[in-house]
Amino acid sequence: MSKSFTLLLGVAALTLSGAARAEAPLSVVASFSILGDMVENVGGEHVDVTTLVGPDGDAHVFSPSPIDARAVGEADLFVVNGLHFEGWLDRLVEASGYAGPVVVASRGIDALSFDEERDEHSSDHEGHDHDHDHDHDHDHSEHAGHDHGPEDPHAWQDLQNGKQYVANIRDALVAADPEHAADYRRNAKDYLTAIDTLDTEVHRRIDAIPEANRVLITNHDAFGYFANAYGLDVLSPVGLSTAAQPSAADMAKLIQQIQKRDVKALFLENMTSPALLEQLAEETGVTIGGTLYAGALASDGEASTYLGMFRHNVETLTEALKE
């Protein structure tokens, strides 16, 4: 083989290698499944997404592994919820040695505190002949190591907040990979349009539920934003942490409220134990109306995407509470 031919092969190999590197997708780590789906929708073919807390996983009790730390350390972007949702975040970043951008998807959200949620629910239902105490007498910081702070972190449960998440993810991808900025902006625009369309549909369907029936009882308190956005009351046996346990007094008070308000259905969550709700169902005679998705997507099926999760939840609620 001639030296000139060998040289040409070498140049070709270097050219192909450089092109491959140039076209390599952006490595993005998302803290949990809902964010992972959002990043994939905005990033499309230009991103390679790793999700730390996967479908049906519980971010409240997640404990990062060395593999997770390595994934974060090698990432171009790390997308998190913020609002103290990821109690393990600082430790993971430190352990991973990650020095890149940490994208807080909830940045710019008007976060709800628990007192605000309680007050807004009460004011929304003034003049009605039912009581509403939004059952928060339990301690919101009872789960050491997973304290969410004074604000509710589940902001994605309002689709209008979801639009802010998408905008923050879009801007972060554009900054990290300006070469594909037009694609990110186009994908985000289409996604935001779909979110607006679904938001209108959710309002229409929830509004069709008789007002006295709009009471949402789940395993833990993850639907405050949903309730405030779409006009429901929320009661739960425990606070934000899925690892918390209600006191006997909490349970007795909740049972009393369920009976007084003639609650139509209880709802399980995909990532929590059904034991508490099954106990409530047994003691009150109220049926379990289905499973809702709050802090994690489904492994497959309709609820395996952010928008699909909303459609599933609304269908489940309207079917159980319509009469």
Identify whether residues 179 and 277 lie together within a single domain. no
Q: Is residue 154 part of a domain?
A: no
Q: Is residue 204 part of a domain?
A: no
Identify whether residues 143 and 78 lie together within a single domain. no
pLDDT reading at 253 higher than 90: no
Identify whether residues 289 and 176 lie together within a single domain. no
Q: Is residue 28 part of a domain?
A: yes
Q: What is the pLDDT of residues 260-317, one digit of tens each?
A: 999 999 999 988 888 888 989 999 999 999 999 999 999 999 999 999 999 999 999 9
Listed residue (242, 241, 291) closest to 270, CA to CA: 291
Q: Is the dihedral of CA 76, 80, 82, 85 positive or negative?
A: negative
pLDDT reading at 10 higher than 70: no
Identify whether residues 34 and 177 lie together within a single domain. yes
Q: What is the pLDDT of residue 114?
A: 67
What does the block give as tokens for 285? 């005679």
**Residues 270, 312 contacting (CB under 8 angstroms):** no
Identify whether residues 44 and 168 lie together within a single domain. yes
CATH number at 293 reads 3.40.50.1980
Identify whether residues 229 and 242 lie together within a single domain. yes
Cα–Cα separations (whole angstroms), residue 209 to 83, 190, 290, 308: 31, 30, 16, 20
Q: What is the pLDDT of residue 18?
A: 47
Q: Is residue 248 part of a domain?
A: yes
Q: Is residue 155 part of a domain?
A: no
Lowest mean pLDDT among 4-8, 86-90, 228-232, 282-286: 4-8
pLDDT reading at 130 higher than 70: no
pLDDT reading at 118 higher than 60: no
More reliable by pLDDT, 310 or 124:
310
Q: What is the pLDDT of residue 275?
A: 86
Q: Is the dihedral of CA 206, 305, 134, 119 positive or negative?
A: negative
Q: What is the pLDDT of residue 215?
A: 96
> In the chain, pLDDT over 90 holds for what percent of residues?
69
Identify whether residues 175 and 300 lie together within a single domain. no
> What is residue 125's three-state secondary structure?
coil
Domain, as residue range, for 265: 114-147+209-321
Q: What is the pLDDT of residue 1?
A: 54
Identify whether residues 244 and 98 lie together within a single domain. no
Q: What is the pLDDT of residue 244?
A: 59
Q: How confident is the model at residue 249 (pLDDT cuts 50, 70, 90)?
A: confident
Identify whether residues 34 and 64 lie together within a single domain. yes
Q: Is residue 101 part of a domain?
A: yes
Per-residue burial over 65-95, b if 16 or more Cβ lie within 10 Å, else e, is: eeebbebbbebbbbbbbbbbbbbbbeebbeb
Average pLDDT over all residues of the chain: 85
Dist CA 167 CA 60 (whole Å): 25
pLDDT reading at 240 higher than 90: no
Dist CA 220 CA 234 (whole Å): 10
Overall average pLDDT of the 90-118 stretch = 90
Identify whether residues 14 and 124 lie together within a single domain. no
Q: What is the pLDDT of residue 23?
A: 79
Q: Is residue 152 part of a domain?
A: no
Identify whether residues 65 and 185 lie together within a single domain. yes
Identify whether residues 138 and 164 lie together within a single domain. no
Lowest mean pLDDT among 111-120, 134-143, 254-263: 134-143
Q: What is the pLDDT of residue 186?
A: 98
Q: What is the pLDDT of residue 93?
A: 98
Lowest mean pLDDT among 41-55, 204-218, 246-260: 246-260
Q: How many domains does the chain have?
A: 2
pLDDT reading at 207 higher than 50: yes
